């Protein structure tokens, strides 16, 4: 009696699961109180089916937070500029691409029930921010009239506001988010403008591998980056079954 080898999940089920996560991200970004039913339906599934993929609401939220945090933390590792001002600007610019995820993370992070979990998940990003700010304070390139901890919170709030409370479809949206963060970090608006002019790559393409820093970056790479980000890929398309 060989224990029957457990067949692996069906492909449509895998897709549906991913669809739920995606739909939930979009739905919660739009309304933190979105019901399970709303989420399931916007993923093209029945409420009942959703419970076949996630034990309960918390399990779903936990995974969303985790996914978002992983993106953020990976981004944070990518920012290696020695100049604190530049590092902060670039970090904001990259996070801006993850608007929907930032929105969701912010919503859930404000909820007492998930405060601890979100705190843990976002720790690497927060550490990275703190490190950048500390570095900037040490070399005098960032404000020193506020202690690092408080400054970190203010910068985080400013970034969140600029990323999530401004129409992301506006062409200046990204630049605006970056300038907002820098302002909060102590720079004057003229300094932020000058910095962005001196470092056009910050608002441009993410400077892939050894690619040439041409005028306009390869459309492919740019599109790919924007594809899985920004608006948060709402499926709306029906799920398979």
**Is position 143 an interface residue for its own copies (rule: CB under 8 A)?**
yes
Q: Map tokens 């790559």 to a residue.
A: 201
* 167/215 with CB nearer its own copies: 167
Q: Which long-range contacts does 185-189 make (Cβ < 8 Å, 24+ apart)?
A: 185/85, 185/88, 185/133, 185/136, 185/142, 185/143, 185/151, 185/155, 186/142, 186/143, 186/145, 187/85, 187/142
Which of DNA, its own copies, none binds 70 (CB below 5-8 Å, type-dependent)?
none
Closest to 133 in 3D by CA, of 108, 106, 158, 170: 158
Binding-site ranges for DNA (CB under 7 A): 6-13, 16, 35-37, 44-46, 48-49, 51-53, 55-58, 239-241
Which of DNA, its own copies, none binds 55 (CB below 5-8 Å, type-dependent)?
DNA
Question: With contacts defined by CB under 8 A, how many residues of the chain interact with its own copies?
Answer: 26
Q: Which of 46, 134, 183, 234 binds its own copies (CB under 8 A)?
A: 183
**Is position 139 an interface residue for its own copies (rule: CB under 8 A)?**
no
**Is position 197 an interface residue for its own copies (rule: CB under 8 A)?**
no
Which of DNA, its own copies, none binds 51 (CB below 5-8 Å, type-dependent)?
DNA
**C-alpha to C-alpha distance for 124 and 147, rounded to whole angstroms:** 20
Q: Which residues are CB-neighbours of 238 under 8 A, at least 6 positions away?
A: 44
Environment class of 197 (CB within 10 Å of its CB; exposed 0-12, middle 13-18, buried 19+) = exposed
**Is position 153 an interface residue for its own copies (rule: CB under 8 A)?**
yes
Which of DNA, its own copies, none binds 146 (CB below 5-8 Å, type-dependent)?
its own copies
Least distance to its own copies, CB of residue 183, Å: 5
**Is position 83 an interface residue for its own copies (rule: CB under 8 A)?**
no
Q: Which of 1, 8, 145, 237 binds its own copies (CB under 8 A)?
A: 145
Q: Which helix (H) or strand (E) is 38 found in, with range?
A: helix 36-42
- The number of helices, as runs of H, and strands, as runs of E, in the chain is 11, 0
Binding footprint of its own copies on the chain (CB under 8 A): 143-146, 150, 153-154, 157-158, 161-162, 165-166, 176, 179-180, 183-184, 186-193
């Amino acid at each position: 009696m060989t224990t029957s080898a457990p067949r692996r999940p069906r492909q449509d089920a895998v897709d549906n699961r991913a669809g739920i996560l995606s739909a939930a991200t979009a739905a919660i970004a739009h309304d933190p109180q979105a019901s399970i039913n709303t989420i399931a339906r916007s993923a093209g599934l029945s409420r009942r089916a959703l419970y076949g993929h996630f034990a309960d609401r918390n399990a779903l939220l936990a995974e969303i937070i985790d996914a978002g945090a992983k993106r953020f933390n990976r981004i944070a590792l990518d920012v290696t500029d020695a100049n604190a001002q530049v590092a902060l600007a670039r970090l904001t610019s990259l996070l801006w691409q993850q608007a929907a995820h930032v929105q969701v993370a912010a919503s859930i992070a404000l909820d007492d029930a998930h405060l601890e979990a979100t705190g843990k998940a976002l720790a690497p990003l927060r550490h990275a921010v703190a490190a950048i700010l500390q570095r900037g304070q040490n070399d005098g390139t960032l404000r020193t009239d506020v202690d690092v901890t408080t400054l970190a919170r203010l910068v985080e709030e400013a970034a969140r506001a600029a990323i999530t409370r401004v129409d992301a479809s506006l062409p200046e949206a990204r630049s605006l988010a970056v300038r907002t963060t820098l302002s909060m970090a102590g720079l004057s608006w003229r300094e932020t403008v000058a910095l962005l002019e001196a470092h056009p790559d910050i608002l441009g393409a993410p400077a892939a591998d050894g690619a040439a820093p041409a005028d306009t970056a390869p459309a492919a790479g740019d599109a790919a980056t924007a594809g899985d980000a920004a608006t948060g890929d709402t499926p709306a398309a029906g799920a398979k079954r």
